[in-house]
Amino acid sequence: MSKKNYFLFPVLSLLFSCASSSLIPYIPDETILRYPELDQRVSTVIGSPLVTYKIEKEYDLLVLNERSDYRICLYRGYIPRGVAVADGYLQNGSLRYNAPLGTYGGLTGRDSNDPPNYRALITAKSDSVFVFSDGCGENIELTTSVLRTRDSLSEDPEFVQELIYSGRIGDNIKLLYREYGGNVLRQAFTQELQYDISLSNILRFREVELEVIEATNQELVFRLFSHFNSIR
């Protein structure tokens, strides 16, 4: 990296990524998802979950329907198609959203196709107009169409418990239990399970109870009687 770029990047970081000290924290809602429904005949294939208990955080989002490009101070920038996620409330009670921002051109040494390297902090100017600061004292209006919504970020669940079908060998049914989540302090955990269905076709693990209806090495047909409870 050249000296001029070494100087430039910390400056841009201050312009685009600093959070306001007066920002009121945003706390997303939690949504619990359970699959499948109880007392239903369900089938799954080897390697796929047969029982899932998932806790997701539900956020206020802006759906940005296309990439939009802007002049930012002496450079160029773009916000990709995707979502901007609420990260706090301003003092007037309106939401602030956080979206990826890519800079390029000028002395950045970056191309318009390079991945985003900063964050755009987006606020509402009106019900249909949204802006972000260019870091030079001006607010730039988003040129993409925007949709307000609420949804979870399924790629980053808060907590997941699931049983996965691992196949059948003779009369033995093999399952894999795993739990994981977005909390970096909690390590992912897995446990291999095996049941002899010649003794009983009712399988129990923790709070889960299910009935095996049919089983091959590729597919399991079952009925679920009870779900996981969270141990987060």
Decide if 179 contacts 159 (C-beta within 8 A): yes
pLDDT at 5 over 50: no
Gyration radius (Cα) of the chain, Å: 24
Decide if 107 contacts 11 (C-beta within 8 A): no
Query: Could you give the 3-state DSSP secondary structure of residue 35?
Result: strand
pLDDT at 7 over 50: no
Contact partners, residue 158, CB within 8 Å, separation at least 6: 30, 55, 56, 57, 181, 182, 183, 232
Q: Which two tokens stand for residue 53?
A: 């208990």
Q: Which two tokens stand for residue 157?
A: 């669940």
In this structure, the answer to whether residues 101 and 22 fall within a common structural domain is yes
How many Cβ atoms sit within 10 Å of the Cβ of residue 39? 9
pLDDT tens digits, one per residue of 177-232: 998 876 544 567 899 999 999 999 999 999 999 999 999 999 999 999 999 986 66
**Which of 89, 120, 152 is a domain's end point?**
152
Phi and psi based region of residue 135 (left: phi greater than 0; alpha: psi -120 to 50; beta: remaining) = left
Query: Could you give the 3-state DSSP secondary structure of residue 169?
Result: strand
In this structure, the answer to whether residues 19 and 90 fall within a common structural domain is yes
Q: Cα 15–16–21 angle (5° rounding)?
A: 85
How far, in Å, CA of 82 to CA of 63, rounded? Answer: 6
Decide if 130 contacts 123 (C-beta within 8 A): yes
Q: Cα 182–115–72 angle (5° rounding)?
A: 115
C-alpha dist (Å) from residue 159 to 59, 78, 169, 198:
16, 33, 31, 34
In this structure, the answer to whether residues 168 and 209 fall within a common structural domain is yes
Q: Please give the DSSP secondary-structure letter assigned to residue 117.
A: -
Select from 211, 228, 230 the least CA-distant residue to 220. 211
pLDDT at 18 over 70: no
Residues 156-169, mean pLDDT to the nearest whole number: 88
pLDDT bucket at 11, cuts 50 / 70 / 90: very low
Can you give the pTM of this predicted structure?
0.67
In this structure, the answer to whether residues 143 and 214 fall within a common structural domain is no
pLDDT at 154 over 90: no
pLDDT tens digits, one per residue of 64-100: 999 999 998 888 999 999 999 999 999 999 999 999 9
In this structure, the answer to whether residues 63 and 137 fall within a common structural domain is yes
DSSP β-bridge partners for residue 100:
119
In this structure, the answer to whether residues 17 and 111 fall within a common structural domain is yes
> Can you give the pLDDT at residue 180?
85
- Note down the domain range covering 121: 3-26+59-152
> Residue type for 183, please?
N
Q: Which two tokens stand for residue 138?
A: 């001006």
Taken as a whole, the chain contains a residue count of: 232
pLDDT tens digits, one per residue of 93-138: 999 999 999 999 988 889 999 999 999 999 999 988 999 988 888 8
**Which of 106, 132, 152 is a domain's end point?**
152
pLDDT at 153 over 90: no
In this structure, the answer to whether residues 99 and 148 fall within a common structural domain is yes
Where do the H-state alpha helices sit in the chain?
Answer: 3-17
pLDDT tens digits, one per residue of 38-53: 999 999 999 999 999 9
Is residue 232, in this structure, part of any structural domain at all?
no
> Can you give the pLDDT at residue 144?
94
